[in-house]
Amino acid sequence: MEDADRPPNVAVILGTGAGGLRALTGELEPTKVEDVVTRDPDLRGHVGRAWRLDVGALQRHGGRTPETDSGIASWIMEAPWAHPIWHSFILTLVHLRPLQGQPAELCRDGASHQFWVFALDPSEPRDGPVCGRSLPSLLWPANFAAQIVAPDDAAAITSMQAAVQDVCDGKLSPDTDYLRTWVARFGDSMIRK
């Protein structure tokens, strides 16, 4: 039988995103991480690890200061189980207090802080941002963003660190396929409806 007479090969994918792509490619193992980070992680879980970044160093590399930048905490999360192509993500937390010479932030009622989750470019080394030598290379758009209400910066940081630990433990996926779980936890204040 000639190739033109042969029926096409068909694959049925029973999912989308990471699971579906892994089924299609036959890769059921987590994404391989060959990008070495020289600093020990600040958080560990059974399927991931995370490093808290030096916000002051990030501000300096971005030409900003605490007076002109509202960043208060960031973590790079290694979660190779979450996506077939990129293995690392960043969660960045800012306060919503007015900054010197800048217009007030648009906030939902009572919001005190805002955070974003981005995938990181897997072709860019993570060691520079983790060790305070460079800015991370984000993949746009953000995977998730929300405004939250916290009594102070410490409480907001604690809430975000708990989410980062859940990513390391495999309880919360930073991939966009799991947006629903982030919305259930933090609300949909920043999602266009």
99-105 CB contacts, 8 Å cutoff, 24+ apart: 99/67, 99/68, 99/69, 99/70, 100/67, 100/68, 101/68, 102/68, 105/70
- Would you give the DSSP letter of residue 105? P
Residue 18 has pLDDT above 70, yes or no: no
Residue 122 has pLDDT above 50, yes or no: yes
At residue 104, the pLDDT reads 73
Q: pLDDT grade, residue 4 (50/70/90)?
A: low
Q: pLDDT grade, residue 13 (50/70/90)?
A: very low
Per-residue pLDDT tens digits for 97-108? 998 877 777 787
Q: Is 165 helix (H, G, I), strand (E, B) or coil?
A: helix
What is the helix (H) or strand (E) element at residue 183, kind and residue range?
A: helix 179-186
Q: CA–CA separation, 164 vs 162, rounded Å?
A: 5
At residue 29, the pLDDT reads 67
Higher pLDDT, 8 or 59: 59
Average pLDDT over residues 147-162: 97
Distance between start and end Cα atoms, the chain? 53
Range list of H helices, 41-178 = 55-61, 127-130, 153-168
Higher pLDDT, 7 or 37: 37
Q: pLDDT grade, residue 145 (50/70/90)?
A: very high
Q: CA–CA separation, 38 vs 130, rounded Å?
A: 9
> CB-based contacts of 82: which residues, under 8 Å, 6+ apart?
18, 89, 167, 173, 174, 175
Q: CA–CA separation, 66 vs 187, rounded Å?
A: 28
Higher pLDDT, 108 or 22: 108
Per-residue pLDDT tens digits for 24-64? 455 546 778 889 999 999 999 999 999 999 999 999 999 99
pLDDT > 90: what percent of the chain?
Answer: 71
Number of H helices, E strands in the chain: 5, 6
Q: What is the pTM of this model?
A: 0.83
